[in-house]
Amino acid sequence: MGKNKLKKFKELEGNRLVLQYPFRTIQEGGFPLKGRWNSDFFSNSNPIVLELGCGKGEYTVGLARHFHDKNFIGIDIKGARIWSGATAALNAGMDNVAFVRTSIELLEAFFAPGEVSEIWVTFPDPQMKKVNKRLTGTRFVEMYRRVLAPGGIIHLKTDSPFLYTYTTMMVKHNGLETLSATDNLYATHPADDPILGIRTHYEQQWLDRGLTIKYLSFIPGTGEPLAEPPGADDIAPDTYRSYSRGYIECPQLLEEEKDK
């Protein structure tokens, strides 16, 4: 492990905005803030908003700067990624931000039923071959239902045509309420929309490559168990994701390959 990562991990231990609880600790004693985030951490009654797979925390911190009447919690398993957003929020003296280093699968160990008002899923791996790992698949959305308050909202922001198509199909098939849906966010939303002013590291890469950003928000409700949409297996895959990370991060390599 590099010295830079070790330094970041050490700094995370002293960052009051970061909570790191090993799975064994959760199993044995539970998470002390579950059901008590508002009273014991934020000291207010404002709505709680999660960003799942927050990475460097650009969205968590960006939304918190804009919406002072909400509390934002970024969740990611990678400590070296969380460090960026957590450090920025701490240095800015922000009091409506927190980060939890854990797996998304353990969400219910950290939040009580109805404790969360909104969930953001920003640029996740579309998991084109593994629906059970897809963060907008029925398995995960059922879990989100259990921690969301009545009327709670799920937001998806993605560069993936596959994931956007799948999620819109899943929402429609299950009769869930769609609040907003666009396959070209920056062409359809007003310039002063706050979600346009926050761009993650990877989002900017997609935009620089000429890809459009998709956005979907919906209310998952609390009705019948969710079912996978028929025809989902026939959705065209994202062809650009068949290339290696080198092609994704250096689009000129992709163009050179096409010219051969």
Which residues are known catalytic residues? 125
Interacting residues of 54 by C-beta distance below 8 A, sequence separation 6+: 60, 74, 75, 76, 81, 82, 85, 99, 122
- Which is nearest to 175 in space by CA: 128, 127, 219? 219
Output the DSSP codes for 58-69: HHHHHHHHH-TT
For residue 56, the SS3 value is: coil
CA–CA distance, 126 with 43 (Å, rounded to integer): 36
What count of Cα atoms within 13 Å lies in the side-chain half-sphere of residue 60?
34
